[in-house]
Amino acid sequence: MPNAYISGTGGYVPPRVVTNDDLVRDYGIDTSDEWIQKRTGIKERRFADAGVGSADLGAEAARIALDDAGLAATDLDMILFATLSPEHHFPGSAVYLQEKLGLCDAGRFIGCMDIRNQCSGFLYALGTAASMVQSGACRHVLVVGGETHSAALDLTTRGRTIATLFGDGAGAVVVSATDEDRGVRYWKMGADGRFADALSQPVWDIRKRPFIPLNEDGVGQVSTEMLWATMDGRKVFRHAVERMCGAVMEACQSTEVFGPDVDLWLFHQANMRINQYVAGQLGIPEDKLVHNIDRYGNTTAATIPLLMAEAARDGRLQRGMKVMCVAFGSGFTWGAALIEW
């Protein structure tokens, strides 16, 4: 059985920086830099321009990851795209990315799959990719986490609790087969559907007839409760710290790689306070954690691959290191993965 290792990483964020002060000045949101930084650690985030979608951001990140791996897009056997903000409800984003990477023109009609697991989406996709490679079904799987949140945020005072948290961006890795003794050593995912409504964006309800009510002119009407994401912030916080700690402890017990043996910790970037609490509970020293929430906000499925790409570029991530990833998000879903780099 081959091992599945990360042969290349790439990250991309759109150029437009939106600071906390910009949310006040340009969008008129009743908030402050102090409030946001104190509760979340976020200083600024990136917003994509109109006309740019998650597959566009993903394509930029994917090209960098392929280049880093020394591969051409035509070497890929599969694309997995983790996102909660796909171009369209269906067919999602992965097929758009395939076309953008030139695979259709090259006659490489490889499998493309969207993974819809929100903030845990990248780890769900990573585990899926590793299994595909280890089974021998694929040699190179492109895994992308990409989000364009800015188009679907209520950027008014009404939506401030959620709108101030999120940003746009994409990260990508190539998961490749190797006979070397390295790669994804462990992954385990979890979910608790009892909390499906605690963080959700219904937009439409497929149980209704029609699924979006029409007005007398036949135009679809989506109420603001359906249009924007809703979140029980305190519930999310409580469950996030509990599940992230639990997922890490289970990973350590299963792999017998314990805290001091881990060289680098990559936490999903939802909220600096969540991560500081989890790190404190687990006794993880600050110098083994990397963050980007201060610069990008919560980029959901993109946070961990963006961290990987940045840490690989700045030398924090070195061959042979043991890297523990952990995430929690809407669903509730969560997961952990241990990678020997």
Interface with ligand ACO (CB under 6 A): 31, 35-36, 39-40, 119, 160-161, 164-165, 199, 233-234, 236-237, 240, 270-271, 273-274, 298, 328-329
Q: What amino acid positions are annotated as catalytic residues?
A: 119, 268, 298
**Beta partners for residue 45, in sequence order:** 18
**334/240 Cα distance (integer angstroms):** 8
In contact, 289 and 255? CB cutoff 8 Å = no
In contact, 173 and 62? CB cutoff 8 Å = no
b/e for 240-259, b at 16 or more Cβ within 10 A?
bbebbbebbeebbeebebee
- C-beta of 98 vs 300, nearer to ligand ACO: 300
- C-beta of 61 vs 240, nearer to ligand ACO: 240
Cα dist. 196→44, 117, 168, 241 in Å?
A: 29, 11, 23, 17
Cα dist. 162→53, 73, 117, 158, 207 in Å?
A: 20, 36, 18, 9, 26
Tokens of 94: 């992965």
- C-beta of 46 vs 160, nearer to ligand ACO: 160
Which is nearest to 296 in space by CA: 8, 80, 24, 11?
Answer: 11
Minimum distance between the CB of residue 20 and ligand ACO, rounded to whole angstroms?
A: 9
DSSP readout, 220-267? B---HHHHS-EE-HHHHHHHHHHHHHHHHHHHHHHHT--GGG--EEEE
Rounded to 10°, the helix 33-40/272-282 angle is 30
Residue 210 has φ and ψ, to the nearest 5°, of -80, 170
- C-beta of 126 vs 270, nearer to ligand ACO: 270
Minimum distance between the CB of residue 155 and ligand ACO, rounded to whole angstroms?
A: 11
**Beta partners for residue 10, in sequence order:** 172
Minimum distance between the CB of residue 230 and ligand ACO, rounded to whole angstroms?
A: 11
DSSP readout, 108-135? ---EEEEE--GGGHHHHHHHHHHHHHHT
In contact, 168 and 301? CB cutoff 8 Å = no
